[in-house]
Amino acid sequence: MRVAFLGPPGAGKGTQARDLAQEWRVLHLATGDMLREAVATGSPLGREAKTYMDQGALVPDDVIIRMMAERLGAAASRGFILDGFPRTIAQAEALARLLKDLGQTLDTVVYFDVSEPELLRRLTGRRVCRKCGHTYHLTSNPPKRPGVCDACGGELYQRDDDTEATVRNRLEVYRRQTAPLLDYYRQRNLLVTVSGEGPLATIRDAIPAAAGAVR
């Protein structure tokens, strides 16, 4: 499986990608996670990315493409789920070139369809475990003990870019820069749509069928 998950911030791509990558035994390549790791370690990449991320803006294409070029080589033969990449037409074109050089193509792009009020609700209520990355929601998926991860006991925190003002900016950036990818992949017959609303398990069950992964 070589699949990309596409959709606005808060659509649930990360949650589903983590589960399905395990089940399909493929790599989960999440550019947001890679960048947050780089910020946490204080690497030059992290220092450059942080100013953009804090404002909810996209990190420049050349930085992202270089980062993904390093990872895709190892991932392409094993299969992968791309989560949060590509986010611009330039990134989509770079991805196609990188895969072509590896003798591969993208099988499917799964679009997670979620309404804007629901995205706002999800993102501003989201809490993330510092240790294992597991995500919760204050009202719809709260941890058993407030502020503590059920899975590993780690501390839960709100991402800097999940505050309301930044979330509104991220949604605007999505509309302007990422939504054009829907037509881009539709024209190439790669796009399938799943509803990203409703119970997690229902969404999860819809993805393999949509992505053509049902054996």
| Binding footprint of ligand AMP on the chain (CB under 6 A) | 9, 31-32, 35, 52-53, 56-59, 64, 84-85, 87, 91, 161, 170
Angstrom distances, CA of residue 196 to CA of 13, 63, 175, 199: 9, 29, 17, 9
How near is the Cβ of 36 to ligand AMP at its closest, in Å? 7
Strands, E assignment, the chain? 2-6, 27-30, 80-83, 108-113, 126-129, 135-137, 156-157, 191-195
Q: What DSSP state is assigned to residue 176? A: I
How near is the Cβ of 18 to ligand AMP at its closest, in Å? 12
Whichever of 58 and 114 has its CB closer to ligand AMP, that residue is 58
Whichever of 85 and 153 has its CB closer to ligand AMP, that residue is 85
Which residue's C-beta sits nearest to ligand AMP?
32
Partner residues linked to 129 by β-bridges: 156
User: What is the rounded CA–CA span in Å between residue 84 and residue 34?
Assistant: 11
Whichever of 160 and 197 has its CB closer to ligand AMP, that residue is 160
Cβ 75 vs Cβ 23: under 8 Å: no
How near is the Cβ of 185 to ligand AMP at its closest, in Å? 15
Whichever of 64 and 190 has its CB closer to ligand AMP, that residue is 64
How near is the Cβ of 56 to ligand AMP at its closest, in Å? 5
Q: So which residues are the catalytic ones?
A: 13, 87, 126, 159, 170
